[in-house]
A = this chain, B = another copy of it.
Amino acid sequence: MAIPVVDEAGRIIGVRTVDDVIDAIVEEHPEDVQRFGGMEALDEPYTQIGFFSMIRKRGGWLSILLIGEMFTATVMKHFELELSKALVLTLFIPLIMSSGGNSGSQATSLIIRAMALDEVKLKDWWRVALRELPSGIALGAILGLLGVLRVLIWQYMGIGGGYGVHYGLVAAVVGVALLGVVTFGSLAGSMLPFVLRRIGFDPASASAPFVATLVDVTALSIYFYVALFFLRGTLL
Contacts and interface: CB of A to CB of B under 8 A. Distances in A.
Interface stretch (A8-16, A94-102, A227-235): A94-102
Interface string A71-111: 01110111010011001001111110111011101101111
Nearest to A61: B106
Count copies of this chain in the complex.
2
B106 A37 contact: yes
A13 to B, nearest CB: 24
A127 B32 CA distance: 25
A126 B95 CA distance: 33
Contacts of A142: 55, 59, 62-63
Contacts of A66: 95, 98-99, 102, 143, 146-147, 178
Nearest to A204: B33
Contacts of A83: 87, 90
Given A29-B116, A62-B143, A97 B94 contact: yes
B106 A62 contact: yes
B160 A77 contact: yes
Interface of A: 1, 18, 21-22, 25-27, 29-34, 36-39, 42, 45-47, 51, 54-55, 58-59, 61-63, 65-67, 69-70, 72-74, 76-78, 80, 83-84, 87, 90-95, 97-99, 101-103, 105-106, 108-114, 116-117, 119-120, 124, 127-128, 131, 134-135, 138-139, 142-143, 146-147, 150, 160-161, 178, 182, 204, 212, 216, 220
